[in-house]
Amino acid sequence: MTSRAAAYLGKDLLGLDELTREQILAILDTAEPFKEISERPIKKVPVLRGKTIVNAFFENSTRTRISFEFAEKRLSADTVNFAAGGSSVSKGETLVDTARNLEAMRIDMVVIRHPSSGAARFLGQRIASNVVNAGDGKHEHPTQALLDMLTIRDHLGRLDGVRVCIVGDILHSRVARSNIWGLLKVGAEVGVCGPATLLPPEVRELGVTVFQRIEEAIEWADALNILRLQLERMQGGFVPSLREYNRIFGVTQARLESAPRDLLILHPGPMNRGVEIDSAVADGPHSVILEQVTNGVAVRMAVLYLLAGGEPEKAEAAKGGHP
Amino acid sequence: MADPQRELLLDDRMVERVLARMAREIVEQVGELDQLLLIGIHRRGVDLARWLSEEIGRAEGTAIPTGSLDITLYRDDLMAIGPRPIVGDTRLPTHGIDGKTVVIVDDVLYTGRTVRAALDELADFGRPRRILLCVLVDRGGRELPIHADIIGKSFTVAGDDRIEVLVSGIDGRSGVELVKGAKR
């Protein structure tokens, strides 16, 4: 049973690097009962009624924005979406001015996706509303890593001692970074596998096992988290061609068949079928890719619910509940 | 009890007798047992609902479905209380609650706010034909116009004292205790 103190996340959720093991597990435990709400005939609970949440997306995103929006609506919050294109941002307004203007309209939370690393923290330090990082540059994407961890725990029953290998472009990936920090904190073993050009040299210092060959990664791991190969990386000269990437690092049925055990297959989406993952694997019996999407809503509900809480001292006063 | 702050109100044998009587009262009041659902409020109400279901099952030879309801997300004081409590399971019988007779089971009835939240939550799951409230202990002190239909025991308790119901599934033993001077 998670204690109420562990469930105190502070004002903002910026990344898993700054959370404790207990806080991460508190979010996962809180997400568990939230899954059931999405199965109800009326998929809505009144817990954030009257709260206004702004989804400020300064970078394109479909799935993350929709997932946050579902989470907010299922908690009865009022939501406003704000995209960079066509807004005052394109007229030269700074991030902090945009946020202060939004705050002047009396909002309670901002969910921010931004191309610059550190944008969420910058904002959190300057506005009173809660800030949730929905991906900042190459830094962190904490809710994605949390939903990955929840999905792994659902299937393997634990995170402690589980071997998770992240495959693909580790260098540019905030999903990889959040997963590495989060998984290590909860006691999982983490591997990374990808072309040397896409592995940051300092990754070993984090306590991560580096695999040069996908076959070795498959032999070692209990779960593979396969990242999307962003097509623009090819233009950047990091990989010679998509076909070659697939031949060397693609997760294929044939490669999985040689594994000593069944591997759980995760992918944060959107997938490039036939590049980093083959269709037979993506749609195969061990793929949990769509469960990740379902769990994403529950994890984001848990984060919003926990952040909307106040100071821990108040919880003491309220102890004993409400008979 | 070694602790002078605690006073035993009902021991385990008394709790069993009281629950057995409550089970009979449910049968009397409801009549059509095939439409009956016992829904326990998280956490201790869930154990009590199961106990009552088994008792009715033994006496009447028919299994009564049970469910659990966690009302945390329907509380009216959540914004005031600080970090969020962890939410428990809400599990209702698979065929839903439409047209059924739902008996809400809880350990202690006090202000009535938990029951108010439970009624709101049930309404989001469907429309029972009838809802009854069944509590092991009624300690008075209502802040809302809510009453129980089936009551195990009534006690008059000072505002800063707390009634604690112990159930074997959670506490390892059963009983009802008064904790003096405990903030509610």
**Do the strands A52-57 and A78-83 form a parallel or antiparallel pair, or are they unpaired?**
parallel
Is residue A185 annotated as part of the catalytic site, yes or no? Answer: no
Q: Which residues of A touch B125 (CB under 8 A)?
A: 40-42
**B81 reaches A (C-beta below 8 A):** yes
Does the pLDDT of residue A7 top 50, yes or no?
yes
Share of chain A above pLDDT 90, in %: 74
Q: What is the pLDDT of residues B1-14, one digit of tens each?
A: 456 689 999 999 99
* Number of other residues whose CB lies within 10 A of the CB of residue B122: 21
Question: Given this model, what pLDDT does residue A86 score?
Answer: 58
Minimum CA–CA partner of B76 in chain A: A47
Of B79, B96, B114, Cβ closest to residue A323: B114
Q: How far apart are CA A2 and CA A196, in angstroms?
A: 40
* Number of other residues whose CB lies within 10 A of the CB of residue B81: 20
Q: What is the mean pLDDT of residues A133-156?
A: 97
Place of tokens 């508190």: A26
| Two structure tokens written together for A125 | 């330090």
Of A3, A28, A322, which to mutate for an interface test with B (greatest number of B Cβ within 10 Å)? A322
Q: What is the pLDDT of residues A105-131, one digit of tens each?
A: 999 999 999 999 999 999 999 999 999
| Two structure tokens written together for B64 | 């009564």
Is residue A64 annotated as part of the catalytic site, yes or no? Answer: yes
| Two structure tokens written together for B139 | 């300690």
**Cis link prior to B13 (omega < 30° from 0)?**
no
CATH code for the domain defined by B14-157: 3.40.50.2020
Q: What is the pLDDT of residues A306-319, one digit of tens each?
A: 998 755 555 444 44
| Terminal Cα distance for chain A, rounded | 20
Is residue A35 annotated as part of the catalytic site, yes or no? Answer: no
Does the pLDDT of residue A322 top 50, yes or no?
no
Domain boundaries, chain B: 14-157
- A41 contacts B125? CB cut-off 8 A: yes
The answer to which of A155-169, A195-209, A287-301 has the lowest mean pLDDT is A195-209
Q: Is the entire prediction scored with pTM above 0.80?
A: yes
Is residue A204 annotated as part of the catalytic site, yes or no? Answer: no
**B184 reaches A (C-beta below 8 A):** yes
- Asked if B101 contacts B65 with a C-beta cutoff of 8 angstroms, the reply is no
Q: What is the pLDDT of residues A9-26, one digit of tens each?
A: 899 999 999 999 999 999
The CA-atom distances, in angstroms, between A322 and each of A91, A309, B142 are 51, 17, 12
Minimum CA–CA partner of A40 in chain B: B125
Is residue A63 annotated as part of the catalytic site, yes or no? Answer: yes
> What single string gives the DSSP state of each residue in A167-185?
ES--TT-HHHHHHHHHHHH
The CA-atom distances, in angstroms, between A298 and each of A125, B46, B124 are 27, 24, 19
- A30 contacts B86? CB cut-off 8 A: yes
Complex ipTM > 0.90: no
Q: What is the pLDDT of residues B56-107, one digit of tens each?
A: 999 999 989 999 999 999 988 776 666 667 788 888 887 889 999 999 999 9
